[in-house]
Structure formats: C-alpha cells, structure tokens
Amino acid sequence: MDSGEKQRAYWRKNLTYLAILLGIWALVSFGFSILFVDELDRISLGGFGLGFWFAQQGAIYVFVVLIFIYVALMNRLDRRYDVDDRDGSGS
C-alpha cells in the first residue's frame, strides 16, 4: 500500500468505529433514557424502573465505557497502521 492509500484505510476504519460507538451512544441516551423510557420502566431493577435508572445513572456509566473502548481501539489501530505518536516522532 502506498501511504495515501494506507491513510485512507486508516481513516475508513476510524469512521467505522465512530459509527458503531456513536450508534450505541445514541441508543442508550436518546433511546433507552428518553424514547423508550416508559416501556423500560416496566422492568424493575431494585427500587428503580429500568428506564429511570438509565436516564439518571446507567447512561453515564455507558458513556465512560464507550470512551475507553474507543481509546483502546484507536491505540491498536494507530500501531497497526504505524501512525501512533508515542515514539517521539509526533509533533
């Protein structure tokens, strides 16, 4: 692969990760916590309705996990495409 092609492949892979992770982000925040909240509230989790729990707790935990998954995926991708900036060659 020439370097331009490699860069495009790297970028496409990055966009795929973004689409998947942001899809989960939207599902949990707009879906579980807002649109389907009443349906989910019929399931109870201790004293919480599940929808209420997602809206006031669960979604935040999911957000944290999503960011760290992205960090791990991208660190791996950076190394695989040899574009990471860890070895002092960065700006």
Q: Which residues bind other proteins (CB under 8 A)?
A: 7, 10-11, 14, 18, 21-22, 25, 29-30, 33-35, 37, 41, 45-49, 52-53, 55-57, 59-61, 63-64, 66-68, 70-71, 74-75, 78, 82-86, 89-91
Q: What DSSP element (H or E) covers 3?
A: helix 3-26
Least separation in angstroms between residue 69's CB and other proteins is 9
Q: Is-contact 27 48, C-beta < 8 A? A: no
* Beta carbon of residue 38, minimum distance to other proteins (angstroms, whole number): 8
Closer CB to other proteins, 2 or 86, in the complex? 86
